[in-house]
Structures are given as structure tokens and as C-alpha cells.
Structure 1
């Protein structure tokens, strides 16, 4: 079992959180499921692995607070505040089971959108060297596909004044 991450763009948080159980990156449209401009990025979490790409692109040291995603779903205002509240949640609660939706900041979107062609190969080469890929290296060409996909998604989001979201599902 793994964790799936779909990065997509949406006009606002409400649109981003619509039908949260539905995947965002689908090869063929599914009847009744909203279609998003999305990139399927299995294993590329928005906190650490994407954060390290952002650090490399900005030529700054990586830190956990570099990406600063904001939780959109499940709604933070309904999250359990105590262990008792957590234990009282039903087993199928999205707070326990997911999925989750995170909004990336505009500066992360703009960093991805601003990666020039001349840096793509260098960034992929450096990104492949991060500790998280030491034991399970990505397949040949995978990170290039992800980087170029995310860059294109970010450019389209920027043009449309949209934000990038990450749908997370176990």
C-alpha cells in the first residue's frame, strides 16, 4: 500500500475540495467525476520531497517550512482538538481515513512556474540525490516527467490566477 499524490489547479478552495474522494489525475474522464488539470505524482509529497525540489530551484537550504501547505480538506475547523474527540470519530471519518487536500502557496507555484528550460536537467539530477530516494530510487525519467509536469501545471495556474492543490490518498 502506498500514498498517492495528485497535484492539480483550481480556481479556489471550494472548487479544489469538491468531491474530495475522487482522484484528481485520471487518464480517461470518468462519468460523474470532475476533471482537473492534474499531475499524478506518486511518492512526491508536498512537505519533504517537493519541498526539496523547491529548495533546489531557489538555491536555498531545505527546511520543513519551505512549502507551507494549508489544509483545505478535511476542514481544519472541524478537526478533533483532543484525544477524546479523536477517539470518538467514526472509523470512516476523513480525519482518520482521508483523503486530504492541501493548498500550496503562491510562492511555491511561482517557483515551479519559473524554472527555466536550462535548469531542468540539473535540477532533476540534484533532486535524484536526495536522501528520500536513496533506498527506493525513482525509475529512469520519472523525476523529469514530474518536474516538467509540475512546471507546466504551475505555469497554467499562474496564467489563470489559480492555486495548486495536492490531493493525498492512502
Structure 2
């Protein structure tokens, strides 16, 4: 299975964490009613695919850091170099939520 990505707008990271805690990690887009507005974007990960789209629109070369992001969820400490300690660790099972930062102006 590929990466199943949802993109949504939220007022802040705290609202996202609260939504995920209330839905046991379920997507805010698939709650009844949806918590935030957004779109399902299967296989459009923020680093590679979205980054390539942004690079094409900007007519620049793609770089891995073109779309900057900060982890919002999982809220537990990130696993060490050997990965998650158990299969139940949220870093092993997901979901993972990242806040995408505004794009920097093109030089």
C-alpha cells in the first residue's frame, strides 16, 4: 500500500492534536461531520510529489527541503536510530501529521 495523504486546513497545530485525540488518530476529513476542510490526495506526499509540483510551478529545481514541514502528530518522542520499539508505537503505525510551512519567496 502506498502513502494515503490528506491535506487539510486547521487554525493551528493544537486544534489538529485535539481532533486526533478525539477521533483516536482518525483523519479529521473522515470524521462525521468533517472537522476541517481539505482534500484526499493519495500518493501526493509533501516532500517528493508536492515538492516536485511546487518546483514545476516555480520553474526551479526540486530539492528535498523545498516544502518545509514540522511534525504535529505523533506526539510521543521520535524513535531512535533503530526505529520504533514496538508495533504499537505511533511512529510505526501512524497517522503522521505535519504542518506545512509557507513557501519562501523565489530568489
Class of the TM-score when normalised by the shorter of the 2 chains: 0.7 to 0.9
| Equivalences for residues 5-154 of structure 1 within 5 A | 5-17=5-17, 18-19=19-20, 21-26=25-30, 30=32, 35-75=35-75, 78-83=77-82, 86=83, 89-107=85-103
Change (3 A) 1:6 1:90: same
The count of corresponding residues between Structure 1 and Structure 2 is 102
- TM, length-normalised to structure 1: 0.53
2: CA distance between counterparts of 1:81 and 1:24?
A: 28
Structure with a larger share of its residues in helix: 1
Alignment gaps of 5+ in structure 1: 112-170
Name which one, 1 or 2, has greater alpha-carbon Rg: 1
Alignment gaps of 5+ in structure 2: none
Give runs of ≥4 in structure 1 deviating > 2 Å.
80-83
CA deviation profile, 1:5-47 (whole Å, cap 9, x unmatched): 0000111111122316112333xx526xx52111110011101
- TM, length-normalised to structure 2: 0.80
